[in-house]
C-alpha cells in the first residue's frame, strides 16, 4: 500500500538538518526537505526518518520537540499562536492538523478538572513507533508554554509505544507520571489553564489565517480516509490476533456489506488489506526495532514463527534472517 498522506517540511527540517540529512538518501527522501518549506514528505518516510534518527539518539524526539518554535509548523503554528485562549488554540490545532500532516489526528477534550490533547498517526507502520509520538507530545507541551508565556505543567503523559529502558530524559522533559503501552498518546493538564489569555493573541491575524487554513484543510482532507482508518485498526489489533472483518465493522459501525463495497471501490478485499498491513509492519519491525523474529511473528498475529517466515519469503523473496543480514542487523 502506497502512502497517500504527506507531511510538510515547513521550517523544522531546515533548522535541524544535521540530525536528518544523513538519513535522507538511504530512505529515498528528497534532499530538498532540508532546504524548502513547501516540500511534502510521504507519511511512512516521515516516520521512518524519525526512527532512523532515533538510532543515533534515542531521545531525539523529546529533545527536538522541546525546542520547537512557531515557524516549525508554518501557517498552522502562527494561527495557534494568534488564538485568544489555549482552548481556541487547541481547537484550531484539532481542526487544521491535516494542513501540516495529513496522516495525523489531534483530539482535544476536557472535564471540570482535567484537559487532554490526544495524538495518533494513522498509518499501519505507526504502531509502537517511538520518535514521532514523543516529538509530538513534547512539541505540544512546548507550544502550550510558548503561547501562554509560562510553563504549562502536564499532570500525566501516555504513550502507545513500549517503555524505554532509560526514562531520565522523559522525566526531565515532562516532570509528571508517564505511562507506556497505552491505547493512545495523550498529554493531560489542568482544565484551569484553558481560559488563559495568550500573550501573543492577535485576532486580526487569526481571522486572516483561518480562511487559508480552511481552504488547505479541504484540499488535503482525503476522500478515502476510511482505508487508513481501517489499516490503523488492523495494525493496532494485530498483536492480539488478526482482526476479523466483523470486528472492524463493529468498530466502524458499518455493515459487512457496506465495508466490503467500500473496499471494492478501492480495488481491495479485506484479506488483501490484512496481507498488506502485515507486510508493511513486518518490514518496519525488522528495520526499526529490536524485536526478535519470534516477537515479530507474534505481533503480526502468527501463532508460530514458521508461518511468518513463509509469508515473509513470499513478500521479500528471502527469509527474515537474510533480510536482517542484508541491512547489517541481528534478528
CATH code of the domain in which 249 resides:
1.10.10.60
pLDDT exceeds cutoff 60 at 3 = no
Q: How many angstroms separate the Cα of 257 from the Cα of each of 192, 224, 261, 263, 272? A: 47, 17, 6, 10, 17
What pLDDT does 122 receive? Answer: 77
Residue ranges making up the domain that contains 322: 226-326
pLDDT exceeds cutoff 50 at 1 = no
Of 168, 203, 220, the last residue of a domain is 220
What pLDDT does 261 receive? Answer: 87
CA angle centred on 83, ends 81 and 84, rounded to 5° = 125
pLDDT exceeds cutoff 70 at 127 = no
Domain count, the chain: 2
What pLDDT does 2 receive? Answer: 47
**Whole-angstrom distance, CA of residue 194 vs CA of residue 54:** 33
**Could you tell me if 22 and 156 lie in one domain?**
yes
- Is residue 306 one of the residues assigned to a domain? yes
Q: Give, to the nearest 10 degrees, the angle between helix 74-82 and helix 86-100.
A: 170
Of 167, 202, 220, the last residue of a domain is 220
The set of cell numbers assigned to 162 is 513500549
Residues 6 or more apart whose CB falls under 8 angstroms from that of 242 comprise 234, 274, 301
Three-class SS state of 292: coil
**Could you tell me if 185 and 288 lie in one domain?**
no
**54: part of which helix (H) or strand (E)?**
helix 43-56
Q: Per residue in 63-75, pLDDT tens?
A: 999 999 999 999 9
Q: Does residue 182 contact residue 159 with C-beta atoms inside 8 Å?
A: yes
Other C-beta atoms closer than 10 Å to the C-beta of 85 total 17
Q: Per residue in 208-263, pLDDT tens?
A: 999 999 988 877 775 456 777 788 788 888 878 888 999 999 888 888 998 898 88
**Whole-angstrom distance, CA of residue 235 vs CA of residue 229:** 10
The set of cell numbers assigned to 326 is 542484508
What pLDDT does 223 receive? Answer: 47
Q: Per residue in 275-331, pLDDT tens?
A: 988 888 888 888 777 788 998 898 898 988 999 999 999 998 999 998 888 777 777
% of the chain residues with pLDDT over 90: 52
Residues 6 or more apart whose CB falls under 8 angstroms from that of 11 comprise 37, 69, 71, 72, 74
Q: Per residue in 32-85, pLDDT tens?
A: 999 888 899 988 889 999 999 999 999 999 999 999 999 999 999 999 999 988
**Whole-angstrom distance, CA of residue 94 vs CA of residue 82:** 15
Average pLDDT over the chain reads 88
**Could you tell me if 234 and 118 lie in one domain?**
no
**Could you tell me if 136 and 19 lie in one domain?**
yes
Amino acid at each position: 500500500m502506497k502512502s497517500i498522506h504527506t507531511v510538510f517540511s515547513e521550517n523544522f527540517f531546515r533548522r535541524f538538518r544535521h540530525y536528518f540529512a544523513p538519513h535522507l538518501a538511504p530512505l529515498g527522501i528528497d534532499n530538498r526537505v532540508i532546504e524548502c518549506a513547501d516540500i511534502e514528505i510521504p507519511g511512512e518516510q516521515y516516520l521512518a526518518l524519525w526512527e532512523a534518527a532515533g538510532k543515533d539518539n534515542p531521545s531525539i524526539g523529546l529533545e527536538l520537540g522541546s525546542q520547537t518554535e512557531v515557524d516549525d509548523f508554518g501557517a498552522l503554528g502562527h494561527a495557534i499562536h494568534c488564538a485568544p485562549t489555549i482552548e481556541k488554540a487547541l481547537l484550531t490545532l484539532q481542526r487544521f492538523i491535516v494542513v501540516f500532516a495529513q496522516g495525523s489526528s489531534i483530539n482535544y477534550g476536557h472535564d471540570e478538572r482535567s484537559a487532554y490533547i490526544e495524538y495518533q498517526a494513522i498509518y499501519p507502520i505507526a504502531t509502537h513507533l517511538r520518535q514521532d509520538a514523543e516529538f509530538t507530545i513534547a512539541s505540544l507541551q512546548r507550544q502550550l508554554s510558548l503561547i501562554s508565556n509560562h510553563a504549562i505543567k502536564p499532570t500525566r503523559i501516555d504513550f502507545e509505544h513500549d517503555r524505554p529502558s532509560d526514562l531520565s530524559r522523559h522525566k526531565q522533559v515532562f516532570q509528571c507520571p508517564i505511562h507506556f503501552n497505552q491505547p493512545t498518546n495523550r498529554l493531560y493538564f489542568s482544565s484551569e489553564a484553558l481560559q488563559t489569555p495568550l500573550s501573543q493573541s492577535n485576532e486580526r491575524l487569526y481571522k486572516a489565517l483561518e480562511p487559508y487554513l480552511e481552504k488547505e484543510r479541504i484540499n488535503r482532507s482525503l476522500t478515502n480516509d476510511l482505508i487508513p482508518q481501517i489499516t490503523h485498526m488492523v495494525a493496532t489489533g494485530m498483536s492480539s490476533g488478526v482482526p476479523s472483518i466483523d470486528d472492524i465493522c463493529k468498530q466502524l459501525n458499518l455493515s459487512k456489506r457496506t465495508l466490503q463495497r467500500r473496499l471494492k471501490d478501492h480495488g481491495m478485499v479485506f484479506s488483501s488489506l490484512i496481507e498488506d498491513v502485515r507486510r508493511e509492519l513486518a518490514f518496519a519491525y525488522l528495520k526499526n526495532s529490536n524485536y526478535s523474529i519470534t516477537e515479530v511473528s507474534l505481533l503480526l498475529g502468527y501463532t508460530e514463527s514458521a508461518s511468518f517466515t513463509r509469508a515473509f519469503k513470499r513478500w521479500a523473496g528471502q527469509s527474515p534472517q537474510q533480510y536482517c543480514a542484508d541491512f547489517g542487523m541481528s534478528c
